[in-house]
Structure 1
Amino acid sequence: MYENDEIEIDLSRVFGIVKKHFKPFALIILATSIVAALVTLFLIPKKYTAEAKLIIVQKSNPDSQQISYNDLQTSQKLVNTYSEILKSEAISDDVIQNLKLDQDGIDHTSYLGMVSISSVKDTEVIKISVETKDPKLSANIANEIVSVFRRKIVTIMNIENVTVLNSAKVPEQKSSPSNLKNTLIGFLLGCVIDGCIVVYLLLNDRNIRTEEEMKQIFDYPIIGLIPDMNAGGTE
């Protein structure tokens, strides 16, 4: 009971502080949210992501029109191998050279920073994602990766089993940064700042409000109370 009473007193103080300083707290949250939104809109560079997809189909019998279960299993295993090849310098060097990306200071390390290779779970599909500040460049790099890969994989693996599922299109919408996400982060930051201020004010509050607090601090019995002369009453 005592612990519950103390929690209630603490919570009442917290709510009291929030109520007393509500406007400054609201302004802090509003300010951090606006700043986060403005930084996102004007300071953080916009990036655009273009995607292309390849499908790996490995047939044990090239003359057959049907794909067996073993063919599917083999194709899925090849997906991981092909994903690593897509990340290798054997592909990146040709892409960089063909698009003259080296003139913009893009090397293999930069290439890996822009290009993301992933496989769609339990399928024979490989997704190639390219993120740059230029939507057209993102699409050009993705499509060039597909072109170089399809040409070189015949030599590397001595087989031709790669089909383009879809080519990359020039993205119309930016993929990052997210206005909503960053504004929400600003909002949460404002809440954290407000919380820190509340804790500071609470820890530095030396006012005594109840008889119990008086007893805890001085450890003396209370022999009398002074009534609130401002309280309403009948004459």
Structure 2
Amino acid sequence: MNETFNFEEFLKVLRENFKLIIGLMLLGGLVSTAITSFLIEPIYETNTQVLVSQSQSRETITNTDIQASLQLVNTYSDIIKSPSILEEVVKNLDLEYGTSGLSSMIDVSSQNQSQVLNISVTNEKPETAEKIANELANVFQKKIPKIMNVDNVSILAKADVGDNPQPIFPKPIINLGLGIIVGGLIGLALALFRSMLDKRITTEDDVQKYLELPVMGTVAEFK
């Protein structure tokens, strides 16, 4: 018995189950939108920048000074997230997080061969993220002279979430698209499964396909 499934039959399945597939695509989109809007807590991000340079008391800066500053960037990245810095930020802002929780919200990065450190802070509340980022930069700038015996940190840009902050997660449009795709795939899988289980012989082609018998004649449909 020949049960190969060709492209023409695949298109037939799509036509016969068009409403099912479209319905599940719409349902998938609605479900993903509802989950994004009501179940997933949005995450906001803000950034501040600090410059690592040579001591501000120096009147002239040489190439050696710049290279020394670049070498300090990695060290300063670790200092920013150190307990001594984070503890003061938690205390100053009266945060409900511990230092480990606060550290998980902070990311410190720099471009290659750059003396600028970018401090990113994520939080469920955009205003809280902004306060943490700015306080972190202030505390870091204040404590560096005591830690490194050199005053060489300047704040280039303060964090500002603006009037209408947008979350970095979740992404409603992406989630909507994924919901539609998943719904469509489920609909297609159900349609194919139903087609494979349906062994009814309803057309002349079915007689030739499943029974491998020639069609001698047909009976007209009476209405």
What is the TM-score of this pair, normalised by structure 1? Answer: 0.79
Q: Which runs of 5+ in 1 are unaligned?
A: 1-5, 216-221
Aligned residue pairs, count: 211
| 1:21 corresponds to | 17
Task: Look up the match of 1:76.
Answer: 70
Show the counterpart of 1:190.
183
Deviation, structure 1 residue 166: 0.2
Quote the residue 2:118 is aligned against.
Answer: 127
CA separation in 2, counterparts of 1:56 and 1:43?
42
With the length of structure 2 as denominator, give the TM-score of the two structures: 0.83
Q: How far is 1:67 from its partner?
A: 4.3
Deviates more, 1:44-53 or 1:204-213: 204-213
For residues 28-71 of structure 1, give each alpha carbon's deviation from its aligned partner in whole angstroms, at most 9, with x where no partner exists. Answer: 11111012112212232233222101121237x9231x442x43
CA distance in 1, matches of 2:157, 2:15: 57
- The answer as to whether partners of 2:48 and 2:118 remain within 8 angstroms in 1 is yes
The match for 1:181 among 165, 174, 181 is 174
Distance (whole Å) between structure 2 residues aligned to residue 94 and residue 51 of structure 1: 19
How far residue 11 of structure 1 moved from its aligned partner, in angstroms, is 2.2
1:113 offset after TM fit, Å? 2.3
1:39 aligned counterpart, secondary structure: helix
Superposed displacement of residue 100, structure 1: 0.7
Higher relative contact order (CA 8 A, sep 6+): 2
* Residue number among 35, 43, 47 corresponding to 1:47 in the alignment: 43
Report the RMSD for the aligned CA atoms in angstroms.
2.4
Identity %: 27
Asked if 1 retains the 8 angstrom alpha-carbon contact of 2:208 and 2:215, the reply is no
- State the one-letter code of the partner of 2:197: N
Structure 1 distance, partners of 2:49, 2:38, is 33
Tell me how far apart the structure 1 counterparts of residues 105 and 148 of structure 2 sit (CA, whole Å): 26
- Contact persistence 1:13–1:202 (CA under 8 A): no
Superposition deviation, residue 192 in structure 1: 2.6
2:21–2:188 CA contact under 8 A, matched in 1: no
1:151-170 deviations in Å (ceiling 9; x for gaps): 11111111121111101113
- Is the Cα–Cα contact under 8 Å of residues 14 and 198 in structure 1 kept in the other structure? no
Post-superposition CA distance 1:93-149 (Å, at most 9, x none): 010011111xx3x10121022222222333222111112222221111101000110
Match of 2:89 among 82, 88, 95: 95
Write the letter of the residue equivalent to 1:158: N
3-state SS in 1 of match to 2:6? helix
For 1:92 and 1:140, how far apart are their aligned partners in 2?
A: 13
SS at structure 1 position matched to 2:216: coil
Taking the aligned partners of 2:178 and 2:38, their CA distance within structure 1 comes to 17
Which one of 7, 16, 32 corresponds to residue 36 of structure 1?
Answer: 32
